[in-house]
Amino acid sequence: MSKPEKHKWVFPARFRTGAYSWKASRLACQRLREAVSEIKKVAKKDPVHAAEGAVRLMEKLWPALEHIDTSSGALGSAVYMALDALIPIIVKAPADDKTRGKWLARLWQAMEDDGVDYLGPVGDRWGEICGSAEVAGRWTDELVPTVRSCWTDPNPGAYFHGTTACLSCLLVAGRYQELLELLELNRHSMWHYRRYGVEALLALGRKAEAVQYAEASRGLNQPDSVIDQACEEILIS
């Protein structure tokens, strides 16, 4: 009996390089919603093929959208919502190691090419996307030296796009103490990074310290309401 034919994706034709002009934000948002709907529909019957579609869409985001005026914030929000729906599809897909390894390589290249950090949420959950603690550990070994170098650089402004990917991998790999020690090197108490430290402390069963760690993340331009919510969730857990 022959295998059912794979779904032929519609969305790639709508996300060609340079497909959208300066004033095409509304159309691009609509096309994003349609693409997500298409991928989610396929996920019900063929989760691995759906994850492949999600990776393919993520690869196409920056090349297709780079010329759009994003000043209204609508496109950024649409991209964030799309990724929020698609990342779990990649995480949960029952793919073999070879397939997932190819996805990781493609997504990493897409993040490197991304001109405005559309794919930031992908890096934020990189450890989960790795699919196992073992794979996350291998990525950790690759990424930690670069993060450490950036955070110990005496010259201000050093930046590495894979920082949250590294922290996420440390968390998934179960290397909690190493994660906390690495975070101590960061001279700025940024919640975007320190939230991984909160998760590490919780994984170690140190709830009171996790709350203290979260509270110590407050400061200029830090999301107080998000920190409030994190502390509340810890206290009632």
Q: Which two tokens stand for residue 76?
A: 């950024």
Query: CA–CA separation, 90 vs 131, rounded Å?
Result: 9
Does some domain include residue 61? yes
Q: Which two tokens stand for residue 44?
A: 């019900």
Does some domain include residue 64? yes
Query: CA–CA separation, 173 vs 136, rounded Å?
Result: 6
Looking at the 3D structure of the chain, how many domains does it have?
1
Does some domain include residue 157? no
Q: Which domain, by its residues, includes 4?
A: 1-97
Does some domain include residue 47? yes
7 close to 48: Cβ distance less than 8 angstroms: no
Radius of gyration of the chain (CA): 19
Query: CA–CA separation, 164 vs 139, rounded Å?
Result: 12
The identity of residue 2, as a single letter, is: S
C-alpha neighbours within 13 Å on the C-beta side of residue 170: 29
CA distances from 40 to 19, 22, 30, 35, 75 (A): 23, 29, 15, 9, 20
Query: CA–CA separation, 58 vs 29, rounded Å?
Result: 14
Does some domain include residue 111? no
Does some domain include residue 93? yes
pTM of the model: 0.94
104 close to 59: Cβ distance less than 8 angstroms: no
Does some domain include residue 8? yes
Query: CA–CA separation, 24 vs 116, rounded Å?
Result: 17
Does some domain include residue 16? yes
Angle between helices 207-215 and 191-203 (to 10 degrees): 170
pLDDT score of 3? 66
Q: Distance from CA of residue 131 to its chain's centroid?
A: 14
pLDDT tens digits for the chain (237 residues)?
Answer: 456 788 999 999 999 999 999 999 999 999 999 999 999 999 999 999 999 999 999 999 999 999 999 999 999 999 999 999 999 999 999 999 999 999 999 999 999 999 999 999 999 999 999 999 999 999 999 999 999 999 999 887 788 999 999 999 999 999 999 999 999 999 888 999 999 999 999 999 999 999 999 999 999 899 999 999 999 999 999
Q: Distance from CA of residue 209 to its chain's centroid?
A: 26
pLDDT score of 158? 82
pLDDT score of 67? 96
